[in-house]
């Protein structure tokens, strides 16, 4: 690979997604159902995940899998990515958390918990055992004809706690029409990692795909385009992105507040009662590319 990073990268899928992009059917008693003229979304109480996002009749997300970390778009709280060996060391104490993807504990605890509705667009959950510090999490969903915005707020309880937040969307490589998904982004450097993809601090030029890397320094929000169908821009107030393109049926573009393993690198700390907030916006338009 050349020693410099190309300004624009594009990654095209090579395999068809499982399924054909048909909208799924959900029971409204299981979560929040949102609808605009052009789009609909369903947010499941189980995990607080965006379980379906349909735009112009096309389902954009993977809607089922054999593991809760492999479908939809779920919140990563109170940490993102891999917590090495499930061990958290904080303020001189060591805590062991369940190994959800042995040998590591992946993507926090909130996506494994039940959430409840506060109103027609807001879900909430309390962080409970085995997370040792407590805390409260809310997500607010705003759907229009051109975008879905998800806002998240984490509030510490009566203990100081480390915190991260983000989302893990699983986008289909193929929709019901149009071409294979293409991922575009500008600039960026990748964290140096172990063989288990654990960031160790320091960044280098991004290698060639496929990727399972945490990237910083993007010059613009990432874009996924299905030629002849849709163009999706993924924007966030968070400035770290895990790009995961290894699966044959899906690709993941994950905005998050810091790198995986941040708890052991440079943790963000909430004092009792303090809040941490962020957002992700998925904005769509018709693809101007011709599907060949």
C-alpha distances in angstroms, 153 versus 76, 105, 134, 273? 12, 22, 14, 12
Confidence of residue 175 (pLDDT cuts 50, 70, 90): very high
CA angle 192, 194, 195 (to 5 degrees): 125
Burial (CB count within 10 angstroms: exposed 0-12, middle 13-18, buried 19+), residue 233: middle
- Residues 142, 184, 263: CA angle, nearest 5 degrees: 65
Query: How far apart, in whole angstroms, are the C-alpha atoms of residue 251 and residue 273?
Result: 36
Whole-number pLDDT of residue 196 = 85
**Closest-CA residue to 255 (of 121, 80, 105, 110):** 80
pLDDT digits (tens, 9 = 90+) for 201-246: 899 999 999 999 999 999 999 999 999 999 999 999 999 999 999 9
Q: Which pLDDT belongs to residue 36?
A: 97
The answer on pLDDT for 18 being more than 80 is: no
**Beta-strand relationship, 73-76 and 166-169:** antiparallel
Alpha helices, DSSP H, located in the chain? none
| Residue with more model confidence, 10 or 201 | 201
pLDDT single digits (tens) 43-101: 999 999 999 999 999 999 999 999 999 999 999 999 999 999 999 999 999 999 999 99
**Chain-centroid distance, C-alpha 152:** 12
Residue 164 above 70 pLDDT? yes
pLDDT at 192 over 70: yes
Q: Which residue has the tokens 């790009």?
A: 243
DSSP 178: S
Check pLDDT > 50 for residue 10: no
Alpha-carbon distance of 240 to 157, in angstroms, equals 26
Cis peptide before 130 (omega within 30 of 0): yes
- For residue 254, how many C-alpha atoms fall within 13 Å in the half-sphere facing its CB? 36
Query: Most distant CA pair in the chain: distance in Å?
Result: 58
Task: Tell me what pLDDT residue 292 has.
Answer: 63
pLDDT band at 26 (very low <50, low <70, confident <90, very high): low
User: Which residue segments constitute the domains of the chain, with CATH numbers given?
Assistant: 8-286 (2.70.98.10)
Cα separation, 215 vs 213, whole angstroms: 6
Q: Integer distance in angstroms from the first to the last C-alpha of the chain?
A: 29
Q: Are 108 and 128 in contact (CB under 8 A)?
A: no
Share of the chain above pLDDT 90, in %: 85
pLDDT confidence bin for 8, thresholds 50/70/90 = very low
C-alpha span between 107 and 101 (Å, rounded): 9
* Mean per-residue pLDDT over the chain, rounded: 90
H-helix or E-strand spanning residue 33: strand 31-35
Spatial separation of the C-alpha atoms in residues 63 and 76, rounded to whole Å: 18
Q: Is the pLDDT of residue 286 over 50?
A: yes
């Amino acid at each position: 690979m050349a020693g410099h990073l190309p300004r624009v990268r594009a990654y095209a899928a090579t395999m068809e997604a499982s399924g054909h992009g048909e909208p799924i059917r959900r029971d409204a008693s299981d979560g929040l159902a949102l609808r605009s003229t052009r789009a609909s979304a369903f947010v499941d109480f189980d995990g607080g995940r965006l379980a379906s996002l349909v735009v112009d009749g096309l389902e954009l997300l993977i809607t089922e899998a054999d593991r809760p970390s492999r479908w939809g778009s779920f919140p990563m709280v109170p940490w993102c990515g891999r917590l090495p060996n499930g061990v958290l060391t904080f303020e001189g104490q060591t805590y062991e958390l369940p190994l959800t993807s042995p040998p590591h504990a992946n993507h926090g605890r909130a996506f494994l918990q039940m959430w409840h509705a506060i109103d027609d667009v807001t879900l909430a959950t309390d962080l409970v055992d085995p997370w040792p510090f407590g805390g409260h999490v809310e997500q607010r969903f705003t759907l229009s004809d051109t975008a879905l915005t998800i806002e998240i707020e984490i509030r510490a309880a009566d203990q100081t706690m480390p915190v991260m937040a983000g989302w893990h969307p699983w986008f289909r490589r193929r929709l019901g029409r149009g071409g294979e998904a293409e991922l575009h982004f500008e600039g960026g450097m990748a964290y140096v990692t172990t063989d288990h993809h654990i960031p160790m601090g320091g960044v280098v030029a991004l290698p060639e795909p496929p990727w399972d890397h945490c990237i910083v320094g993007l010059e613009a929000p990432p874009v996924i385009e299905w030629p002849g169908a849709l163009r999706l821009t993924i924007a966030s107030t968070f400035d770290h992105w895990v790009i995961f393109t290894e699966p044959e049926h899906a690709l993941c573009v994950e905005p998050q507040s810091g790198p995986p393993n941040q708890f052991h690198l440079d943790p963000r700390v909430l004092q009792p009662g303090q809040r941490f907030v962020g957002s992700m916006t998925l904005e769509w338009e018709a693809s101007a590319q011709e599907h060949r």
